[in-house]
């Protein structure tokens, strides 16, 4: 049980900003294993820019995905809420927020950023969130939160493995076709007889 708890702790890191942190740079360090960073930023009012920096170790390729949202809100919002992922100085992807309501949360919208999955190679990266936070009443501030997910890159099968898989599927199709033919009273082909004997 202790091993399970420590493994879960190692896989989830929480980063929280609160107060008047309108501009902040947060280092997530070097990503060398699958991990999920849970981020939350609270106490936002006016223009803000939050930058999360991280690096991927040499020789590693890691799959990245992210979802960030205000959640259903009625007392605040974030105009021009965007998120951008940079490799060094090069922009990889930029996502504008989608204002969404569901029957369960109506009439309270959420401001959501959904990043497409990307494979990231070794290097230095930064994730930047910007927006203009507002409150519906004096003293009300905005917040957002979400997950930055890093997973082991998917393994691509070798061509020989794919050829064997295709050959096995073809044999299965021929075998099934010949068994149906045999059960319907027709004579199977010589290839089908060989497949039926297996």
pLDDT score at 5: 35
What percentage of residues in the chain have a pLDDT greater than 90?
40
Report the sign of the C-alpha dihedral through residues 129, 132, 136, 138, in that order.
positive
pLDDT score at 186: 58
pLDDT higher than 90, residue 107 = no
pLDDT score at 8: 35
pLDDT score at 152: 83
pLDDT score at 101: 79
Residue 110 pLDDT class (50, 70, 90 cuts): confident
Partners of 102 in beta bridges: none
Work out the average pLDDT over 25-38.
88
pLDDT score at 145: 93
pLDDT higher than 70, residue 188 = no
Residue 57 pLDDT class (50, 70, 90 cuts): confident
Could you tell me which CATH number the domain at 2-152 has?
2.60.120
pLDDT higher than 80, residue 174 = no
Domain spans in the chain, listed from the N-terminal domain onward: 2-152, 159-196
Report DSSP letters for 107-152, one per residue: T--EEEEEEEEEEEEEEEEEEEEEEEEEESSTT--EEEEEEEEEEE
């Amino acid at each position: 049980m202790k091993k399970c708890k420590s493994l879960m702790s190692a896989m989830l890191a929480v980063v929280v900003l609160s107060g008047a942190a309108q501009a902040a740079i947060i280092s997530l360090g070097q990503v060398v294993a699958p991990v999920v960073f849970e981020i939350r930023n609270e106490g936002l009012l006016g223009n803000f820019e939050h930058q999360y920096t991280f690096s991927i170790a040499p020789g590693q390729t890691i799959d990245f995905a992210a979802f960030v949202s205000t959640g259903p809100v009625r007392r605040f919002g974030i105009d021009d809420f965007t998120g951008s992922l940079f490799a060094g100085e090069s922009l990889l992807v930029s996502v504008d927020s989608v204002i969404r309501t569901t029957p369960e949360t109506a009439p309270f919208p959420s401001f959501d950023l959904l990043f497409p999955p990307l494979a990231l190679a070794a290097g230095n990266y930064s994730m930047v969130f910007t927006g203009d936070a507002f409150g519906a009443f004096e003293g009300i501030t905005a917040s957002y939160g979400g997950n930055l997910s890093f997973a082991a890159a998917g393994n691509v099968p070798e061509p020989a493995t794919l050829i064997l898989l295709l050959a096995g599927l073809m044999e299965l199709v021929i075998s099934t076709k010949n068994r149906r033919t045999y059960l319907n009273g027709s004579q199977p082909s010589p290839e089908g007889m060989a497949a039926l004997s297996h």
